[in-house]
Structure 1
Amino acid sequence: MSAVDLGFDLGTTVTKVSAVADDGRRLVDHSVATDWRETGEGRVDRTPASVVEAVELLLAEVAADLEPGTTVRSIGFTSMAEAGVLVDAAGREQCPVIAWYDPRGSAQAAALPADLARDFPARTGLPVSHVASFFKLLHLRDEGLDLRGLQWLSVPEFVVLRLGGRRVAELSLLGRTGLLDVHTNTPWQPALDHLGVGPDLLPEIVAAGAPAGTVRADHPVAAVRGAVLTVAGHDHAVAAAATGCGAPGSALDSFGTAEAYLASASHVPDPDVVRDLALRGISVYPHTVRGATGFIGGTRTGLVLKRVQQVLDAEHDPARAALDEATLRLAPGDTADVTVTGYAMGDHEVEILLGSEAHTPAHVWRAAIDGGTARGIEHLSVLRGAGVAVDRLVVAGGWTRMRSVLAARQDLAPVVEVSAVDQPGTWGAARFGAWAAQHAEQAGPDRRPPAEWFTDHLAPEPRQPIQEAHA
């Protein structure tokens, strides 16, 4: 009888699961669209029950595809950050799951007392913004919800509870809420005081990959009964671990609709430095691997590239491939005075400014790529100024399929590689599950898996240097 580990990625757009063998091979993949409801004025949420229903559906589908006699050893969950649910003492949900980008909490962020607004980024590593869960909680309180006696669970923590596990608060997800002091990895008391609650708002704080109970014995999918449950943590940090760049000195360039850079260091900078980073768009929070702190910031580069492709009518092959080839034939930096804007996370528009009549579609595309590269160089320069070196960068995501995009990424770090791990979110979550199942009694103060658990132990294949990938 063989055993597999399941990894769930509870994403903003898609909820996915992979079944992973003990040697690291992905055996089965399933997915379902994440079900949100729009209620006007930018408000987007979903019922907590719909989160669990999606997971249950996928559990049944993946179990049906496994070979007869296969059992599930563990289930790990990664997810988008900030979104979660309040539950009462009996585990009943008391609010919807509000999307991380939902504007609720904006008024509360704007009205934050001056002393709290000054200290918030220095202690929590986050900017004062409606995105942090803290401000969503303030909104719910101001709308009349009594927070006393309730407990906050992130989306994967809520699913673990529903499957039969215990209540936990995983560090990397907690580090995105505004409720954690990143210098001590304990609840930030001024935030709790401002909410009018005590430390019981948060359950037991655990490391990524810590065992959080087992699937209940009466679960309708027999193959998962008794499987070890764990919260793998924030999706970007899990993907970084899975692609082999969780160790200090390395970073993941997760290049999808947004381009998120997640760097790793062995220290947390002083509060004044953390404040400066947060104000410059780089959040600081606990990583999912042992001995590491995560530094994450992003741009809208993927969205900009998509908009430019639409303008150039080159979203699909053969036009996309032709554009790719024509751009590679241009000399480095040759944009024919074309400028593209709209990369900052706060931007709402994408503009293409034509500085001459000599441009071709390839010049426009080169300008769009170079604009994103310039933002990446600036981002990594800010990190270096804060003592966070990035000597090695791993690029992952849909845009790695275009050679012109990959070629530009060589300028970002001394060593730049293309990820060899497909579906790093689900694969990584499954490996955190395997860690939880095999290291339940792990000793020491930091029970997170080491970076080597991913890079040396079960990596599916060697990573590819970027020079070979775009040649």
Structure 2
Amino acid sequence: MSLLVDLGYDLGTTVTKVTAVAEDSTRLLDRSLPTVWQEREGHTQRRPESLLADVEDLLAQVAADLPAGSRIRSVGFTAMAEAGVLVDREGAACSPVIAWFDPRGADEAAALPADLAHDFPARTGLPVSHVASFFKLLWLREQGLDLAGLTWLGVPEYVVHRLGGRRVAELSLLGRTGLWDVHTGAPYTAALDHLGVAPDLLPEAVAAGTPAGTVRADHPVAAARGAVLTVAGHDHAVAAAATGCGSPGSALDSFGTAEAYVAAAAHVPDPDVVRDLAVAGISVYPHVVRDAVGLIGGTRTGLVLSRVQRVLGATQDPARDALDEATLRLAPGETADVRVTGYGMADREVAIHTGSEAHTPAHVWRAALDGGTARARELLGLLGDAGVPVDRLVVAGGWTRMRSVVAARRDLAPVVEVSDLDQPGTLGAARFGAWAATRDGDPGPDPRPPADWFPGARPADPIPIPQEATP
């Protein structure tokens, strides 16, 4: 019998990754490529063709390295939100993939009419910021691009379509565009009217894990032909599902370049509460699991830490390990008057402020950790005030390899765990692919998989969290 394989892609800001998982959930192999952006005059983008080329390259690598006779059953895609492509009726790309953090759209956000600026966060669950896709689309329109007749596809939706699937818009990604009303579950007409476009700018809205067609019959990778295609959704929400944080009361601390706190609620809060959360930096949007609403607050903590590491010359061992150990001997707040700033998602710079001559590299690193922890406490406090308390926090991502970073998170919730999944995004995407490939009959009123369907619903052996020094 042939080995059935589910592939999960994570089309990330820094790395494009894929994981192959057997039908029994055994992880078979991982492959990755750096995500290469074109940077010019403060703008960051890439060609849609290069995005697709990376996906195809990794697909060929995986197929070549799978056991003989393997058949790829499904391919699921998760990705950074907000970034996407405008395509015409024939499917040709009409815009670059503009990075979510690219400042284009900031002027358009600042010029939004007062009534729309007031209504926008309450209805979309997003702040008025250049990050939302809506403002990138406004910028493209101001540059002379005629949006009539074009369709917006998020990055994974574009790839699915190019591999042979139909055009779809997955709900969690739609919820990051600024074009979706989280209360009505329909396009946000005020934004579409402001863009001067019809609702057909958006394709068919689908839940995470919905089958979106199959890999075309003439695809050069024979083992992938006929594989079910699906969009798993927003990378942070997919990682939350994979680590067992899809149920209300739990949250994932997804700690990469950006640090995202992804919580789950049983319902969408009232519009006034949604507005207040969005203005404070916590977005509300559709989750990727059944009967759940996602709330996500982001910081630039990972980016801050990486820049501070470079300044300290501690990006690699043994210097990194020495910095880690020295910082664990300092208590929170023991910074020798060093202060680090730049954690806000709208911040442009990272700054290290030294208030004395008594600091060491460990004091600087302690200050960098403390700044991120303070912002985390603020975000989790806002969630609690909105009726979404976090009783269990699971930390996952590349920064968990540093013990001082993990220790700084130990008191943020009554229960804090470190996930043993080192690639929750790709593993989650593969699991959504399996869901799409094995589902049959009537999917019911909510076709998303339930939170407890994921193998990581409770980490079997949570990684111990190291103790910090006490004052």
TM-score, reference length from structure 1: 0.95
Query: Which position in structure 2 is the counterpart of 1:467?
Result: 465
Q: Deviations over 1:352-407 (max 9, x none)?
A: 33444444333332222122111111110011111111111111112211212211
134-143 or 4-13, which deviates more: 134-143
User: Alignment partner of 2:197: what SS?
Assistant: coil
- Residue aligning to 2:106: 106
Shift of 1:206: 0.4
Corresponding position: 1:209 with 2:187: no
Aligned equivalent of 2:8: 7
Tell me, yes or no, if the aligned pair for 2:406 and 2:466 is still in contact at 8 Å: no
Correspondence 1:40-439 to 2 at 5 A? 40-439=40-439
Q: Which moved more, 1:329-338 or 1:77-86?
A: 329-338
Q: Is the 8 A contact 2:329 2:468 kept in 1?
A: no
**Which stretches in structure 2 are left out of the alignment for 5+ residues?**
none
Distance verdict in 2 for CA 1:101–1:360, change over 3 Å: closer
Tell me the CA shift for residue 448 of structure 1.
Answer: 0.6
- CA–CA distance in structure 2, aligned partners of residues 304 and 219 of structure 1: 42
C-alpha separation in 1, matches of 2:348 and 2:109: 20
For structure 1, which segment, 332-341 or 230-239, has the greater mean C-alpha deviation from structure 2 after superposition?
Answer: 332-341
Deviation at 1:468, TM superposition (A): 6.5
- CA-atom RMSD, angstroms? 1.9
Change (3 A) 1:442 1:41: farther
Aligned mates of 1:189, 1:35 — CA distance in 2? 35
User: Which amino acid letter does the alignment assign opposite residue 28 of structure 1?
Assistant: L
Alpha-carbon shift at residue 452 of structure 1 (Å): 0.6
- Paired with 1:95 and 1:280, the residues of 2 have a C-alpha distance of 31
How far, CA to CA, are the matches of 2:419 and 2:293 in structure 1? 21
Q: Structure 1 residues 164, 311: closer, same or farther in 2, change over 3 A?
A: closer
> What is the number of residues matched between the two proteins?
468
Deviation at 1:112, TM superposition (A): 1.2
Aligned position for 1:33: 34
Q: Percent identity?
A: 74
Maintained 8 Å contact 1:416/1:465: no
In the aligned structure 2, how far is the partner of 1:37 from the partner of 1:361? 33
SS for the counterpart of 1:27 is: strand
Q: Secondary structure at the match of 2:6?
A: strand
* Matching residue of 2:21: 20
Once the two structures are overlaid, the 10-residue window that deviates more, 136-145 or 211-220, is: 136-145
The residue type equivalent to 1:75 in the other structure is V
| Cα distance per residue 1:256-313 (max 9 Å; x no partner) | 2221111111111111111111111111111111111111112222222223333333
Distance 1:42 1:311 in 2: 22
- Distance verdict in 2 for CA 1:181–1:326, change over 3 Å: same
Provide the secondary structure at the position in 2 that maps to 1:153.
strand
Paired residues for 1:442-457 under 5 Å:
442-455=442-455
1:326 Cα deviation after fit: 2.2
What's the CA shift for 1:140?
A: 2.0
Closer/same/farther in 2, CA of residues 308 and 136 from structure 1, 3 Å limit? closer
- Structure 1 window deviating more from structure 2 (172-181 vs 41-50): it is 41-50
Is contact 1:242–1:424 with CA below 8 Å preserved after alignment? yes
* Aligned CA distance change for structure 1 residues 238 and 47 (closer, same or farther; 3 Å): same
C-alpha separation between the residues in 2 aligned to 1:43 and 1:430? 32
Q: Provide Cα deviations, 1:175-231, integer angstroms capped at 9, x if missing partner.
A: 000110011211011111111221211111100000111111111111011111000
Shift of 1:109: 1.4
Larger deviation, residues 88-97 vs 374-383:
88-97
